[in-house]
Structure 1
Amino acid sequence: MSLDDTGRRAPATAQNALWSWTRDVPRARRRPISSAVSSAVKDSTAVPIAAGHTPGPGVGGDADTSLPVPPASGGQRSCSSSTPTAPQVRGDALRMLACVRVATARQMAQVITAEDADGRSYVRRAMRKLAEQGLAETNGKQGKELIWNLTRAGLRAVADGNELPARPRVGTGAKAVRAGFGPHALAVTETILAVGGRHYLTDWQVEVNHAIKETGLTFNTDAVLNVPGKAAEVGLYEIDNGTMSRAKLAREVWDYERYAGHRVWEGARGTIGGTFPFWSRYRYTRSSRFPPLHVVLAGKEEHLLQRRLEALAAAVDGIAVSVFATTLPALQRREGWVRLGTDHPDRRRERYPEPVGR
């Protein structure tokens, strides 16, 4: 993210850490994959997967949560620049799919190995082995590429290692792919890779539900990035693959203002009490402002995406939450975001009625 939740540029250290690619880092910095991971990918049973992260600087001094750094590609191979071993590829594939849910061999090779075409062949062999072990499966194609996801056994293998945050209700993505939503799911994965590559990959969650029971408001955010640190940096990401109407897309963006504007009353009986934003009390408790929303447009030719972006800007004019938008091709070229809305807590408080106390 080049902008924080207030629209200002993020600190240089955090911004560089989030956007930089690490394929040219010497292999000496890599931590060898643990024996637990090797056991998980060699044994047909779902053995817990241990951490395989590379220690490094993180936001706020926390440990780096990226996947292990792949060796540099090209040139002569040596002991300091070689292809990851088969167990390493399988272990990294399990971790990546546990985070992004679905991916093709090309997308996984982009993160796991330093090679392009050769990298895909390594990943394909690894995925076939994981499928034989019952840890991964494929339920559709994107062109000629198979779409891969973990099975329930694969999710348990990752969860039992306590490497990723607890996600008891996370799905495998298989139903979505079989239902024909594979292109949208892959666009979400493509966005995650374009935003930060392998950096903070394990801090992404996909299909995150936001609901307020009192008002009946409920919607799923395609992807949420929660960067670790003393003050958590949270980013909300909505990916439009060109399949919904412009009006529906605008309504989905306005849902975020309605969610941010809802307040709850708190106070003991017999006291005056007070009201507080629902999101700050029950969802993003470490964030000082409502997290910024990033809308990524994909699935069409770029000139059509630009028209769609212009229409969205007009439809959400005056929205009182931070909203940024771009197209997926522009994001992959590292171009800047277009601001569509600014965070205004006072304006939200005027628009949405206060809850009645006891």
Structure 2
Amino acid sequence: MTYNDHGSSVPEGSGEPENGPDSSAASSAANDSAAAAVGAGQAPGQGGVSDADTSLPAPASSDEGQRSSPLTAPRVRGDVLRMLGCARIATVRQMARVVTAEDADGRSYVRRALRDLEEEGLAETNGKHGKEPIWNLTRRGLRAVADGGELPLRPRAGTGARAVRAGYGGHGLAVTETILAYGGRAHLTAWQVEVNHAIKETGLSFNTDAVLTLPTKTSEVRLFEVDNGTMPRARLAREVWDYERYAGHRCWEGARGTIGTTFPFWRRYRYMRSERFPTLHVVLAGLEEHLLQRRLDALTEDVHGIAVGVLATTLPRLKRREPWLRLGVDDPGRRRERYPEPVGR
């Protein structure tokens, strides 16, 4: 049985930036697009943004086969900056799908834009995935995107260069591919990658691969973990269980020495506008499809009984808009039984 994001059954088949002023070219590159393509796109299908109670309007869909608006070099440069500011790393092919909505011609536009940005010190490449260079913004590029006013400055955000040089570019590209498969160009600037979740008191700390800020009636974000087929089975399961441990931790209300009660840590300090702990979406990638299915079956067994909402799928199934498999249901009562009240203050 498969389920949608609400748990209803669905029929089968259905870094600190470098100091110093930016050049005028840097600050203008993120601003000179009158109508950014990354803000447009088609409404996601069944495998994409599927919550029915979303408070944001669905993006207007374009007629199939309709060409995008005329491309200009400043517009493409601005769109490339925005995409890399959100997804951190990407190939020319991935950027062309978002920036130009074209294929071969789109890649040529993006390549020219990247050469210009590289000359200005805003973008760089530090490795390849197969024959394709992997691009990322420099620290100066991150600052330029923030100066454009569309994305907040994220002081601790890395450029992705170190991960690419260390050989982890494949995982980062799988995260980018998941972002594109889940929502396409819609809500692209609402994504943030490598988001840390930590509880100092217990020592628990982990990074969520991607977080989509798309408020619904019960939650303000959606969490995404992407496995590129290189992680041992036990470690993958442990990373999923970390979300229950994070959601189950409680903290005291009020000052030390006063009479008070406890609240979920996540609701008090992280997702204060959410009624329920955000749903975790697990996407399996990097292997042949029959091996991904085996990995999905194993994960289903390993996280049985988890008390947070967990949906899982494979990247090929996500691209085909197939339903997600529900592995866990949000259950605050069961979490409270497993993670008792803190002893005292």
With the shorter chain as reference, the TM-score category is: 0.7 to 0.9
In structure 2, C-alpha distance between the alignment counterparts of 1:262 and 1:293, rounded to whole Å: 17
In structure 1, C-alpha distance between the alignment counterparts of 2:132 and 2:116, rounded to whole Å: 17
Q: 1:49 aligns with which of 30, 41, 44?
A: 30
SS in 2 for 1:98: helix
**1:82 deviation in Å?**
4.7
1:305 pairs with 2:286: no
- Aligned residue in 1 for 2:18: none
Contact 1:239 1:297 in 2 (8 A): yes
- Aligned residue in 1 for 2:7: 7
In structure 1, C-alpha distance between the alignment counterparts of 2:304 and 2:28, rounded to whole Å: 51
**1:164 deviation in Å?**
1.0
Q: Tell me the TM-score normalised to structure 2 length.
A: 0.84
Contact 1:59 1:229 in 2 (8 A): yes
**1:114 deviation in Å?**
2.2
- Aligned residue in 1 for 2:238: 251
**1:145 deviation in Å?**
1.1
SS in 2 for 1:312: helix
Answer 1 or 2: higher relative contact order, Cα 8 Å, separation at least 6.
2
- The code of the aligned residue for 1:49 comes to A
CA separation of 1:87/1:129 partners in 2, compared to 1, >3 Å: closer, same or farther? Answer: same
- Aligned residue in 2 for 1:144: 131
Paired-residue identity, %: 70
**1:161 deviation in Å?**
2.1
1:100 pairs with 2:87: yes
1:192 pairs with 2:176: no
- Aligned residue in 1 for 2:206: 219
Aligned CA RMSD, in angstroms, stands at 2.8
In structure 1, C-alpha distance between the alignment counterparts of 2:256 and 2:245, rounded to whole Å: 28
In structure 2, C-alpha distance between the alignment counterparts of 1:253 and 1:325, rounded to whole Å: 11
Contact 2:143 2:153 in 1 (8 A): no
**1:199 deviation in Å?**
0.7
**1:83 deviation in Å?**
3.8
- Aligned residue in 2 for 1:281: 268
Please say which of residues 51-60 and 335-344 is displaced more in the overlay: 51-60
- Aligned residue in 1 for 2:78: 91
SS in 2 for 1:84: coil
Deviations 1:300-343 (A, max 9, x none): 00000000000010011000001111000000010010011111
1:235 pairs with 2:230: no
Contact 2:92 2:110 in 1 (8 A): yes
- Aligned residue in 1 for 2:308: 321
In structure 1, C-alpha distance between the alignment counterparts of 2:195 and 2:124, rounded to whole Å: 23
1:135 pairs with 2:122: yes
**1:176 deviation in Å?**
0.4
- The code of the aligned residue for 2:319 comes to Q
- The code of the aligned residue for 1:184 comes to H
- Aligned residue in 2 for 1:60: 55
In structure 1, C-alpha distance between the alignment counterparts of 2:206 and 2:179, rounded to whole Å: 20
In structure 2, C-alpha distance between the alignment counterparts of 1:304 and 1:120, rounded to whole Å: 32
- The code of the aligned residue for 2:7 comes to G
In structure 1, C-alpha distance between the alignment counterparts of 2:225 and 2:164, rounded to whole Å: 18
Deviations 1:273-320 (A, max 9, x none): 000000001111111100011110001000000000000100110000
Q: Tell me the TM-score normalised to structure 1 length.
A: 0.81
Contact 1:105 1:145 in 2 (8 A): yes
SS in 1 for 2:167: helix
**1:166 deviation in Å?**
3.6
- Matched residue pairs, number? 318
Unpaired runs of 5+ residues, structure 2, are 10-21, 44-52
**1:98 deviation in Å?**
0.2
